[in-house]
Amino acid sequence: MVADNDKPSIIGWISSIIPFGLLCALLYLLPQITAGHVIRVQLNWIPSLGIALSIAIDGLSLLFALIICCVGFFVTIYAADYLPRKATTGKFYIYLQGFLLAMLGLVMADNILAMFVFWELTTIISYLLIGFECELETARQNARQALLVTGAGGLALLIGFLLLGNITGTYDLSQISLQSAAIKSDPLYYAVLPLVLIGAFTKSAQMPFHFWLPNAMTAPTPISAFLHSATMVKAGIYLLARLHPILGGTPVWMGTLVVTGGITALIGSVLAMKASDLKRILAFTTIMALGILTMFLGGKTTPALTAAMTFLMVHSLYKSSLFLVVGIIDHQTGTRMIEHIGGLLKSMPLTALAAAMAALSMAGFPLFFGFIGKEIMYKGALTEELFPGFATTAALLANALMTAVACLIIIKPFLGALRKTPLIPREAPWTMWLGPVFMGGLGLIFGIVPDWIGHWLIEPAVRAFHPSMEDIELKLFYGINEPFLLSIATLSLGTILYLFKQPLRRTIDYVLRQIPIRFEHIYTGGLEGIAKIAKIQNGILQNGSLHRYLSIIIGSVILGVGLPFVFGYIPPDFGQNPYPSLSGWLLGGIIIVAVAVVVRTKTRLLAICSLGVVGAGIAMLFAMYGAPDVALTQLLVETLTVIIVSLVLLRLPRLKARPPRMPAGKIWNGILGVAMGALITALILAVNQIDLERSLTDFFEANSYIAAHGRNIVNVILVDFRSLDTLGEITVVALAGLACYALIQKRKVE
């Protein structure tokens, strides 16, 4: 039993080799990338569609990849002691590392279709991770919500990518970026842009899609630290940065991102002050940070984009550290409700140290990396081309509220008198506090030596998507200027907000209760509406009537195929002798008479025999026009069908007397039948007017006898060249036969 209990920890340590090895490899490439090199690797994936698995590592992708691998490594070893020892724990590490590799593929892909594949992989694996504790109904519901919201955005993104490829004629990002001016001048730009933004906004929880992120906190805390602070939710931010030189710089891009990002940041910071669950507090602050990042990516000045990349790193460090701290508090005390904990400093000093460093960086306290990020943020907001006043105000208010939240996180859990909790608090194992202390410490180190991190990581990242000659420099102190004064104002206002936190929380709660509808209610109502529509549709289409099923199928084919075909129809050229021979007229007359008998007869046996006559007549037509093998097959099938169905009819009860069908119903059936027949006839005639590509025909003619030793080309194709397809068809028929046999046996038993 001891070995079994230790096994998940061993798996966790082994699993951590993957992110650690990748982290070392990326650090090895760091000098080359900083020098301005771009490392490219390409593998043809689907050449016929122009899809290649192209990998490009530049400053932007390297910054994201380093964050992914660094946080992934510490989260993996953290989970080794955090997760309970269960049989399913090993599966957790498979999902975790699979997600890490998918995120790396996303940020390194140089082909937009390959990027989309990795994008959807992150969506699917995050669904598995959010719903990992699948025995909980809440986990299943929230995982499904995240999947539906981000999956819908992914579909919009795919359409945008396809349109982008249609404009440029390529799916390679490096080639698309060379056609930026042509893309922005193309009318399809105004279709591509909203589709791409929907994909990015759903993934990065921008208003009005922000509601799924706090609900995803039902995932285990290591997942929250990895997916919802450092990686998955940053995928949309990466997409906006990567496409900035391609789609950015226009008024509609700037206006949409600045306004949406600013409103999202304010919503997230306000909701963070109201929450009581520490994980939900951090989730709302993540929404705030994502809004700030989106807002600055809406700009096109070097300070604005530098602010985005700097704050990206600031946020990844402090937020992943704080999530892991909250996990430690929950793990070691049995609760994470902020009203139920306090005085943990003495019993959990290392956890308190990690929380203090991360929270001070979040608040933008001097000497921490967050302070530098905040000054650059205000410099970027003041230089926004569109709505600089709005951007500055939104950043100031959101950061002030974040300062209040940072005070809340430091003071409430760790200071004051020790409060009684479900578990006696004690310090966590070193594997759990190592990551928070390390990443919180990086926030302090990078704040003391910002020029180093600016040179090695921030500047190459900005240059990768904004090749400006303007200097990019991070300093501990830029002097007394507007950004510095705004930083001081932020800290002062944040402290005031914390001191008046109780009336502020009551006010926020009151205002929220007055709002009649919320975006989550719209989502729920949308799902309920879809279910109601599906129920109505199912009642109409799936009513148990085979006649209705056939009518709908035939009508759909006529509308979907026939209408486009009619508008582009060109009358066929029948040649000099368009009329069939006398024997052809006779066979046609026999077939027409047989069809009339099928329509008019009230006897089952006569109807099936007449259908057999129709099939036999068609077989004779095949024979007359040089297809004896097809004719023989048709004749055998018709004969067997008549025999088998006749035997079945003998076992069926007599037809019940039915009320006579309304003339309108008969007319409708006749219209459908004639229209379908006319459509098939017209399609066949149109096909005969086309010069068919004969490369496959020539191949089969040349190889049927030589390669497959068969003179009948059709048989050789069925049995040899497409044997697996034929085997699949046989399997389907066999399964259908077994199903019929099972139904007959069940009927006998009843």
Domain boundaries along the sequence of the chain: 691-750
Residue 541, pLDDT score = 78
Contact 322, 355 (CB under 8 A): yes
- As a whole number, the mean pLDDT across the chain is 83
Sign of CA dihedral 670, 673, 676, 678: negative
CA pair distance 750, 742, nearest whole angstrom: 12
Residue 27, pLDDT score = 92
Residue 8, pLDDT score = 44
- Mean pLDDT value of segment 508-518: 77
Residue 5, pLDDT score = 43
Q: Is the pLDDT of residue 245 over 80?
A: yes
Contact 594, 585 (CB under 8 A): no
Task: Give percent of the chain with pLDDT exceeding 70.
Answer: 93
Contact 89, 10 (CB under 8 A): no
Half-sphere exposure of 338 (CA within 13 A, CB side): 19
Of the candidates 360, 358, 363, 341, the residue with the CA atom closest to the CA atom of residue 414 = 341
Q: How confident is the model at residue 260 (pLDDT cuts 50, 70, 90)?
A: very high
Residue 6, pLDDT score = 42
Give 223-242 pLDDT, tens digit per residue. Answer: 888 887 667 788 889 999 99
- Mean pLDDT value of segment 159-181: 88
Q: Is the pLDDT of residue 576 over 60?
A: no
Q: How confident is the model at residue 483 (pLDDT cuts 50, 70, 90)?
A: confident
Give 108-151 pLDDT, tens digit per residue. Answer: 988 888 899 999 999 999 888 888 877 788 888 888 888 888 88
Contacts of 406 (CB under 8 A, 6+ apart): 359, 360, 362, 363, 494
Q: Is the pLDDT of residue 100 over 50?
A: yes
Comparison of pLDDT for 724 and 436, the residue scoring more: 436
- Mean pLDDT value of segment 697-725: 78
Contacts of 689 (CB under 8 A, 6+ apart): 570, 572, 573
CA pair distance 570, 586, nearest whole angstrom: 29
Distances in Å between the Cα of 42 and the Cα atoms of 74, 162, 174 are: 31, 20, 12
CA pair distance 548, 551, nearest whole angstrom: 5
- Mean pLDDT value of segment 181-205: 90
Helix and strand totals (H; E) in the chain: 34, 2
- Mean pLDDT value of segment 342-360: 88
At position 363, the amino acid (one-letter code) is A
CA pair distance 213, 211, nearest whole angstrom: 6
Contact 368, 361 (CB under 8 A): yes
Distances in Å between the Cα of 692 and the Cα atoms of 114, 331, 695, 698 are: 33, 69, 9, 12
CA pair distance 530, 535, nearest whole angstrom: 9
Residue 623, pLDDT score = 82
At position 483, the amino acid (one-letter code) is P
Residue 385, pLDDT score = 77
Burial (0-12, 13-18, 19+ Cβ within 10 Å), 672:
middle
Residue 543, pLDDT score = 75
**β-sheet bridge partners, residue 748:** none
Return the minimum-mean-pLDDT range out of 165-179, 302-316, 656-670: 656-670
Half-sphere exposure of 392 (CA within 13 A, CB side): 20
Q: Is the pLDDT of residue 566 over 80?
A: no
Residue 240, pLDDT score = 92
Comparison of pLDDT for 344 and 710, the residue scoring more: 344
CA pair distance 65, 312, nearest whole angstrom: 13
Residue 42, pLDDT score = 81
- Mean pLDDT value of segment 90-109: 89
Distances in Å between the Cα of 445 and the Cα atoms of 241, 307, 474 are: 26, 19, 13
Contact 62, 238 (CB under 8 A): no
CA pair distance 658, 148, nearest whole angstrom: 47
Half-sphere exposure of 13 (CA within 13 A, CB side): 6
- Mean pLDDT value of segment 520-547: 81
Distances in Å between the Cα of 243 and the Cα atoms of 188, 201, 250 are: 16, 14, 12
Contact 217, 124 (CB under 8 A): no
CA pair distance 601, 541, nearest whole angstrom: 28
Comparison of pLDDT for 357 and 428, the residue scoring more: 357
Rounded (10°) CA dihedral 730, 732, 733, 739? 140
Q: What DSSP character marks residue 718?
A: I
Write down the H helix ranges in 39-136. 59-82, 89-108, 112-130
Helix 89-108 × helix 59-82 angle, to 10°: 170
Residue 7, pLDDT score = 45
Q: How confident is the model at residue 657 (pLDDT cuts 50, 70, 90)?
A: low
Cβ-based neighbour number of residue 52 at 10 Å? 19
Structure tokens at 26: 């990326």
Contact 129, 95 (CB under 8 A): yes
Half-sphere exposure of 154 (CA within 13 A, CB side): 18
Give 548-564 pLDDT, tens digit per residue. Answer: 888 888 888 888 887 77
CA pair distance 743, 737, nearest whole angstrom: 10
At 616, is the secondary structure helix, strand, or coil?
Answer: helix
Assign residue 170 a region (left: φ > 0; alpha: ψ between -120 and 50; beta: otherwise): beta
Structure tokens at 303: 């300070």
Q: What DSSP character marks residue 426?
A: -
Residue 647, pLDDT score = 78
Task: Give percent of the chain with pLDDT exceeding 90.
Answer: 11
